[in-house]
Amino acid sequence: MGMRTKRSKEFKAKVALAALTGDKTMAELSSEFGVHAAMITRWRNEAKEGLAGIFGKDDRKEVKEYKTKIEELYKTIGRIQVENEWMRKNLEV
């Protein structure tokens, strides 16, 4: 059983880009980078899937939704803090 090697995201991107160009076969890339062809294929496919997100506006919508939700949560926390403070003052035992 071989040892797993942790590869940097920069290395993975470099290999995926080389695979996407199609200038070399998987066997050539595997030999050049010292990575199994199946792993190169996986990184290439992940790169393809991720490219759409770079150009899309969907992320902005998602970020806006998260910001709105966070705002709502902070308002709720503030309201609860005010209610707790009121109860502490008015319901002292």
- DSSP 8-class letter at 28: H
Say if CB 48 and CB 20 are below 8 A apart.
yes
Domain regions of the chain by residue span: 7-56, 57-93
The span from the first CA to the last CA of the chain, in angstroms, equals: 67
- Per-residue pLDDT tens for 42-82? 999 999 988 877 776 666 778 888 999 999 999 999 999 99
Alpha-carbon distance of 48 to 13, in angstroms, equals: 11
Confidence tier at 41 by pLDDT (50, 70, 90): very high
pTM comes to 0.56
What pLDDT, on a 0 to 100 scale, did the predictor assign at position 4?
78
What pLDDT, on a 0 to 100 scale, did the predictor assign at position 71?
95
Say if CB 43 and CB 12 are below 8 A apart.
yes
Alpha-carbon distance of 87 to 81, in angstroms, equals: 10
